[in-house]
Structure 1
Amino acid sequence: MGCLFNFDNYKNNIALITNDREVTYKELDQLSYEVGMLLDNKSLVLLVCTNTIDSIISYIGIIKSGAKCLLVANTDIESLLEKYKPQYVFSPIEKNINAKVIKEFGSYIACKTNFDVDYEINNELAILLTTSGSTGSPKFVRLSYNNIVSNTTSISEYLKIKSSDRAITTMPMNYTYGLSIINTHLANGASLILTDESLMSKIFWSLIKEKKATNFGGVPYTYEMLKKLRFERVNLPDLKYITQAGGKLNKKLVLDFYEVCSKKNIKFYVMYGQTEATSRMSYLPLESLPEKAGSIGIAIPDGKFLIKDDKGCEIEDIDVRGELVYIGNNVSYGYSQSYHDLKEGDKNYGCLHTGDLATKDADDYFYIVGRKNRFIKVYGNRVNLDEFEHIITSYGYECVCTGEDDKLNIFLTDNTIEKLFLFNKLMKDTGLNKSAFNLVYIDSIPRSDSGKIIYYKLDSGE
């Protein structure tokens, strides 16, 4: 990991930027070294993440020391402390941690915990990240140093990240996509504009203009908000490219942003990834739009996709759905549920069964068509809930669908949509009997900090 965060060639470059402070790579190197001196390479450190200078300093210091970093959101961490029993906790000063403070730096403190447990940690383990799922599970993905270096190198290659780039943060640091933007920019001597402000904040748009951001990333929900904010009217002369991952962006929005970005001379990258693959697995080459809109594109450099049937055999024919399987050095070692699992080695051996259903076209471009576990049976008919959601959103309605056999729940945010009208339209377009439909009006779709839908918070009312 030292080769990833070797800042010798970028000492005078600006690494971190906030509204009122700038930190050079030379300063970042020194400050993170001081943090790392507190640790040994056998320890586990729980890092409470924020998009701040001191959080980044902590992360770099932990990684460069050889210690293992468990990245979590700035929420209740008591259950995680019990499950993982870290030797250290790094957190914002205001967080109430029941541990001995051994260093205070800026807005953060480093604490030594009282856990008297001796457990083995795999030497190759670098970080632990929450899974990309939104179920609230404490399950973490075990990522090695090689996983991070491999994915960072591949992403840097296809995005052509340069030291002159400036990315503004739009996602939590402990979210795999947000962390990958941090890793790729720091690995290339580029700059990070740090903020926890949302796109709905005037402060965010002031920062992106004043600090001359050249790029940002976003999940599908980010792009839905940008559409509502009329992104096409926003004047951002320094913006060079934007990226999208963290879920499938519907084809209409892909085409809308392709058109807007083309007019503004901004590059628009559609990508696909999972925490289990460190971050990204594919990207849609710029020249393939608009023709390939709706596709996740091709595998990243040094990666490979296969589509397999239910028997595990490769599907080579075009337009035949099966499970998408990814092969690459960025595939994680597996999962952990507690400190007992940290001694485990690589259980995936560079091969990830994504759980996504996909097809490929004649040019070997791949298309996600649903999730293996997002199927129900409705009166004998197999229904893909993702495809059903897509049908309703194509009508112009914001919706989420859940269900069980013979019951399909439709959650709408617009209570002016008449139930019988919608059901009759769905019957006509899908052939399903409307008696299986259950309509629920909700104020808003529950989402995680990274914009993913939290399905378990939806109440069908029955």
Structure 2
Amino acid sequence: MSHLKILRGNLARQILNRIYPNECKKIKPSETVSVSVRNLNRNLDTKTVTVLEQNVLSSPWGEITPGKETLTEHVFKDIELWTDSPCVTCGATGRSYDYGMMRMMVERCACALAGHLKMAPGERIGIILPNIPEFVVLIHGAMRAGLVVTFANPLYTTDEVRRQFSDCNVKAIATIEMFMPLAQEVSKSLTGYKGTIWVGGDDDTAKGIYGLRSLLMADHKADLPTVDCEDVCLIPYSSGTTGLPKGVMLTHRNLVSNLKQVQTPKIMKYEGEKGKGDIVLTVPPFFHIYGFNAILNYNLLLGYHLVSLPKFTPEDYVKCLVEYKPTTLFVVPSLLAFLTTHPMVKKEHLQTVESVMVGAAPTTNSMFEKFLLKCEKTKDQLKLLQGYGMTESSPVTLMTPYEYPPDKIGSAGQLVSSTQARVLDLRGGEALGPQRAGELCLRGPQVMKGYWNNEKATKETIDSEGWLHTGDVAYYDDDHYFYIVDRTKELIKVKGNQVSPTEIESVIMEQPEVADVAVVGIPDSLAGEVPKAFVVLKPNHKLTEKQVYDIVAQKLTKYKHLEGGVAFLDAIPRNTAGKIMRNELKVLGKKK
């Protein structure tokens, strides 16, 4: 098949018109066509052209070559160019490492995990860490040792972490003092557990605790494995389009491909050049795929100075703006709103900022206009960049180029390199043309291998042709900029965090008084959405709104709490198939 070439758009239409003029007349002007051409440079005849798919869009930025590098190899491949430059700094404490030191610690961590903790390639390590420099040491050290990493939100409850780490069969946990009780409690339920790594703490061999500093200082020796780029290296947990959180199997190739895809010259600030010495201030967590691959790894690869905070406070964030004078900010919409409206943030604090990258959820043109007004800058002086992605796509699939028309603000951008998309009609399932909304489906080398130990969910999300069904409703315009307009999936987005209604519902259903329950997201000016529960009680049973709220608050982390309230109904609206009619509940939720 080496002689098969895929052509799309105008060129495909010209070839079709030349060879199949009658067939070409049947194709609507708004439709996107693809053709495969054999022996393109030879005489074209009726056997050389075949229409493959209509209304399938491809990236305007061409193709990448995925390569065979592991993620750690790729991230640190150009380190010799900036060995002495600052790598990652904790904005709260000032603790910092340069690139040379970071690379050495990664290597020593890998040898300690393989040689001292006796962890074998393919085994899982769980990370419970905020945004601190040692996050880089541990996650890339683990991957260098051939291990598979799963990270958890440090604010998760014991039940939430236990469920994830047990499902993933974690053999070791790395954390800080604040979360040591959580790690130790969870470790009791993990089979074949090999030890807890304490960042900032000392060894306690009787309890199976290893201080990270002592592991690195000991300079353990080990024969590190040869890792294949197709090996799974990361299993973050996502609810996907519905249901309880599931392990997303991402390979080295998935993650490296996505880094290459977002470093297409026209997308980048410096058109692909590295080592410009930019200073990046970021808050989105590294334990989220956006924070890990699209922020942390992306900026390490470029040799930039990454400043982050383990916990957001207005005081610390403003201090970082003043002290480090960042050129780039990575934010979520709620943080952009903070920068725009909080009186503590002054225009002089933002004078060095040249670009703002918004992820996890879309922002609006009006919010950007207000931010520009706060900065007293024009759209030429400060760039707002947006993107779209999922944990299942490593994560980026859509992104605005660094220079793009002002009338496209609010768009999620265009397809990144080597990525295809189609928008499917929600009723008939056919691929739609421009300006018509439907379910967004994506295909590319960044799409996950599948869900861990869940073939059924994998088949429901990735079809036989390799299309990832996002569950998001979108449309694209005539310039192939995409706009996310709604969600078919059940997930609730709270300040960019995914909240599974099923997870909250299962906690409430554990109560003996409850006969039925449904949770939906309702609009909130600050969080975007917040969860609201609709509860049906069993006959002659009672629960108060506060009791239901407290039940969830005891079991789940804060952003999953029922800030939208609790309402009691006689029955949950369901369709003939028994599925909850969540749209009806959302309307009901807005009225109360």
Query: Where does 1:16-95 land on structure 2 (aligned, <5 Å)?
Result: 16-18=88-90, 19-37=93-111, 38-39=113-114, 40-74=120-154, 75=156, 76=158, 77-94=161-178, 95=180
| Cross-structure match for 1:13 | 85
Deviation readout 1:319-360 (Å, 9 max, x if unpaired):
211111112211112223689999xxx988753111111122
**Pair 1:187–1:233, CA change in 2 (3 A):** same
- TM-superposed CA distance for 1:454, in Å, is 4.3
* Structure 1 letter corresponding to 2:352: D
Measure the CA separation in 2 of the matches of 1:220 and 1:365.
20
- Which residue of 378, 382, 390 corresponds with 1:274? 390
Measure the CA separation in 2 of the matches of 1:68 and 1:182.
18
Specify the SS of the correspondent of 1:276.
Answer: helix
Measure the CA separation in 2 of the matches of 1:457 and 1:210.
36
- Which residue of 155, 161, 165 corresponds with 2:278? 165
- The answer to whether the 8 Å contact 1:213/1:238 transfers is yes
- TM-superposed CA distance for 1:460, in Å, is 3.6
| Cross-structure match for 2:347 | 233
- TM-superposed CA distance for 1:287, in Å, is 4.1
* Structure 1 letter corresponding to 2:261: S
- Which residue of 411, 416, 421 corresponds with 1:295? 411
* Structure 1 letter corresponding to 2:413: G
**Once structures 1 and 2 are overlaid, which stretch shifts more, 122-131 or 326-335?**
122-131
Deviation readout 1:19-72 (Å, 9 max, x if unpaired):
333211111111111111123322211111221122221011012222111111
Measure the CA separation in 2 of the matches of 1:179 and 1:20.
21
* Structure 2 letter corresponding to 1:169: T
The yes-or-no answer on 1:253 pairing with 2:367 is yes
Measure the CA separation in 2 of the matches of 1:179 and 1:349.
28
| Cross-structure match for 2:308 | 194
The yes-or-no answer on 1:222 pairing with 2:294 is no
**Pair 1:402–1:105, CA change in 2 (3 A):** closer
**Pair 1:125–1:235, CA change in 2 (3 A):** same
Measure the CA separation in 2 of the matches of 1:80 and 1:196.
22
The yes-or-no answer on 1:147 pairing with 2:219 is no
- The answer to whether the 8 Å contact 2:435/2:475 transfers is yes
Identity %, equivalent residues: 21
The yes-or-no answer on 1:313 pairing with 2:426 is no
- The answer to whether the 8 Å contact 1:176/1:278 transfers is yes
Measure the CA separation in 1 of the matches of 2:391 and 2:438.
21
* Structure 1 letter corresponding to 2:147: A
- TM-superposed CA distance for 1:108, in Å, is 8.4
Specify the SS of the correspondent of 1:225.
Answer: helix
Deviation readout 1:362-404 (Å, 9 max, x if unpaired):
22221112111469xxxxxxxxx99x95xx97xx998769799
* Structure 1 letter corresponding to 2:304: A
- The answer to whether the 8 Å contact 2:239/2:245 transfers is no
Measure the CA separation in 1 of the matches of 2:107 and 2:87.
15
* Structure 1 letter corresponding to 2:74: C
**Pair 1:281–1:61, CA change in 2 (3 A):** same
Measure the CA separation in 2 of the matches of 1:454 and 1:134.
17
Measure the CA separation in 1 of the matches of 2:348 and 2:453.
44
- The answer to whether the 8 Å contact 1:63/1:69 transfers is yes
Measure the CA separation in 1 of the matches of 2:229 and 2:454.
14
**Pair 1:348–1:17, CA change in 2 (3 A):** farther
Deviation readout 1:91-138 (Å, 9 max, x if unpaired):
214513246657656458899989xxxxxx996101011227799944
- The answer to whether the 8 Å contact 2:329/2:355 transfers is yes
Measure the CA separation in 1 of the matches of 2:406 and 2:233.
39
Structure 2 gap ranges (5+): 1-69, 115-119, 188-192, 210-227, 492-519, 535-551, 569-592
Structure 2 length normalisation: TM-score? 0.58
- Which residue of 431, 445, 449 corresponds with 1:329? 445
* Structure 2 letter corresponding to 1:17: T
**Pair 1:290–1:256, CA change in 2 (3 A):** farther
* Structure 2 letter corresponding to 1:87: K
Rg larger for? 2
Specify the SS of the correspondent of 1:159.
Answer: coil
**Pair 1:347–1:147, CA change in 2 (3 A):** farther
* Structure 2 letter corresponding to 1:212: K
| Cross-structure match for 2:517 | none
| Cross-structure match for 2:290 | 177
Specify the SS of the correspondent of 1:288.
Answer: coil
Measure the CA separation in 2 of the matches of 1:138 and 1:188.
32
Report how many aligned residue pairs link the two structures.
394
Measure the CA separation in 1 of the matches of 2:128 and 2:202.
10
Measure the CA separation in 1 of the matches of 2:447 and 2:134.
29
Measure the CA separation in 1 of the matches of 2:204 and 2:281.
26
**Pair 1:341–1:315, CA change in 2 (3 A):** closer
**Pair 1:160–1:304, CA change in 2 (3 A):** farther
Measure the CA separation in 1 of the matches of 2:241 and 2:314.
25
**Once structures 1 and 2 are overlaid, which stretch shifts more, 17-26 or 362-371?**
17-26
- The answer to whether the 8 Å contact 1:86/1:113 transfers is no
- TM-superposed CA distance for 1:263, in Å, is 6.4
Measure the CA separation in 1 of the matches of 2:241 and 2:348.
32
**Once structures 1 and 2 are overlaid, which stretch shifts more, 278-287 or 319-328?**
278-287
* Structure 2 letter corresponding to 1:82: S
**Once structures 1 and 2 are overlaid, which stretch shifts more, 65-74 or 231-240?**
231-240
- TM-superposed CA distance for 1:300, in Å, is 1.5
- The answer to whether the 8 Å contact 1:130/1:175 transfers is no
- TM-superposed CA distance for 1:293, in Å, is 2.7
- The answer to whether the 8 Å contact 1:46/1:88 transfers is yes
The yes-or-no answer on 1:458 pairing with 2:564 is yes
- TM-superposed CA distance for 1:289, in Å, is 4.3
Structure 1 length normalisation: TM-score? 0.73
Measure the CA separation in 1 of the matches of 2:441 and 2:418.
14
**Pair 1:338–1:373, CA change in 2 (3 A):** closer
**Once structures 1 and 2 are overlaid, which stretch shifts more, 235-244 or 76-85?**
76-85
CA root-mean-square deviation: 4.0
- The answer to whether the 8 Å contact 1:258/1:290 transfers is no
